Amino acid sequence: MTKQEVITYLKSNEFDSARANAAFMFCEIAFGAYVESDKIHHSPFSPSFCYLWKEDATAFHQIIARHIIADTGKRLYQDYCKDPKTLDEKIKEHLHFEAGLDFVWQKYFKVRGKASPKELSPIFRELLEYSIHWWYYGAIGEDKGGVIHTDIVPKFAERHHLSLSDADHLFNTLSHPETKTILNIEREYFLNICLKLSRKESTDALVKKYLGEFFWFKSDFYKAVEITSASLLSDAQKYLAEKGAEGIQAEFDAMQQNFARLHEERTSHMKDIVLTDEDKRDLAFAEKNILWIDYRKRGMMKDFYYLVMIITNVAQQVGMRYSELSAYMSDEFAHFLETGERVSKEIIDQRNEGVFAVWEKGKKRQLFYGADAHELFKVYSSLSNDTEVKGQVASRGGVKSVSGVVRIIHQPDTEVFNEGEILVTSMTRIEFVPLMRKAKAIITDEGGIACHAAIVSRELGLPCVIGTRIGTKVLKTGDTIEIDLEKGIVTILKHA
């Protein structure tokens, strides 16, 4: 696409935009796979864009047309309605490629610190191959269950003569998985380690199990922290000192109670409603979709963890910065491992100053730098003139409305968030969970019933509105707002 063609496309579509810190290489792997992923889900997923800027090219915007994401979700549901096995097969295949990532990581782990960059080259290429295939399936998850809200719930409402709001709430409750999410399980492990320390009991078995299951937990789209027995126990000791054994036990009990409440609500509603065959089919689709998105989060974090560790290892060996090597593209990094030839400092500097990247099916990626990149992002960021903040109610939190003070958060690791504030962000990720536990309510720009914010808020019993599109643009830190948890409407009571 020429620059003008990109501008025309940006002005002609509405977009799903996710904001985070990200390594350029990871964006290139994911979006390069996305535009070729129709071979898996048979729905066009091209073009895709991203914009990175600032030092080390870590500030990132994902830009994908909403109709692309929505059409992929609709195609998944249509295929499922024709043959429910298609969904099970896709989930199974996706998990197969996650297992492939794990397999290659074990190969790397055996030679970590011993193999030369050239000797690591075949391992990296094998990991990259599994990663690309993993992201083919990962593209499907971008819908995050949006098709449930747009296509399934309205029909459910008609069949049972419910308002759309009540149908949303009921369907969300009935489709919430009976098994705990991965994040919930991780928290239970961690709290149990804290409690064992408080009782001066051995933590060896639990620590070993935690490290086996959640070694990737401190990973994001840019960095990863290696969790060791010592660091895990240190974190547990600090949390124990901060909260005390009674506070930790109370948190653990509250988690169990919230999960039991969800199960009881689901059981109670099941007794009160006569489900049609269509209901049963659709609820099974939704529950499997929610679980799949949960698996997707784990697979994504593992992929990033493995890549970060390999890049970090190589950077140390050759005397380069991680931030420099992570700004390589995957083929450039593979070539560097094999030959030692570096990408020029001028190109890396260009990427760090700002790059607008374009991926199209069957075409080589296209990169716009400097003034061109900033202009394209400016066109994109100035598209919406909407001022009404309204979204889908993912969780009512047991109340009809909630009011409080807004805090906009984009970088959860570095920005301050206070107990009892309303968390507003583009989308939540694993690193947002500590903030979500402090929040009075949650508002996101993006997301569907299966998104991270929706699942976690229901398990925490928090009010949550997702998919507002413009929440972070219209609301400001310090605004006092009221959230209508029946209509999903956010009203500003007092400006900051």
Q: What is the DSSP string of 252-274?
A: HHHHHHHHHHHHHHHHHHHHH--
Inter-residue long-range contacts of 344-349, CB under 8 Å, 24+ positions, other chains counted: 348/324
Mean pLDDT of 270-282: 96
Write out the two tokens for 51: 């914009």
The amino acid sitting at 38 is D
Mean pLDDT of 254-276: 93
Residues 6+ apart with CB under 8 A from 119: 111
> 385 pLDDT exceeds 80?
no
Smallest CA-to-CA distance from 489 within 389, 341, 372 is with: 389
The span from the first CA to the last CA of the chain, in angstroms, equals 42
Secondary-structure class of domain 389-494 per CATH: alpha beta
Q: pLDDT value at position 430? A: 85
Write out the two tokens for 460: 């925490």
Write out 187-227 in H/E/C secondary structure: HHHHHHHHHHHHCCCCCHHHHHHHHHHHCCCCECCCCECCC
Smallest CA-to-CA distance from 454 within 196, 262, 279 is with: 262
pLDDT grade, residue 447 (50/70/90)?
A: confident
> 55 pLDDT exceeds 60?
no
What predicted TM-score, i.e. pTM, was given to this entire model? Answer: 0.92
Write out the two tokens for 17: 């935009």
Q: pLDDT value at position 142? A: 95
Residues 6+ apart with CB under 8 A from 172: 394, 395, 449, 454, 458
Smallest CA-to-CA distance from 310 within 302, 33, 134, 227 is with: 302
Q: pLDDT value at position 53? A: 83
Render pLDDT for 174-195 as a digit per residue (tens, 0 to 9). Answer: 999 989 989 899 999 999 999 9
- Residue with the bigger pLDDT between 289 and 449: it is 289
Mean pLDDT of 371-386: 87
Domain chopping of the chain, boundaries: 3-143+288-381, 182-273, 389-494
| Alpha-carbon separation of residue 57 from 33, 156, 221, 352 (angstroms) | 21, 45, 12, 4
CA distance 452 to 382: 27
**DSSP character string of 270-338:** HHH----HHHHHHHHHHHHHHHHHHHHHHHHHHHHHHHHHHHHHHHHHHT--HHHHTTS-HHHHHHHHH
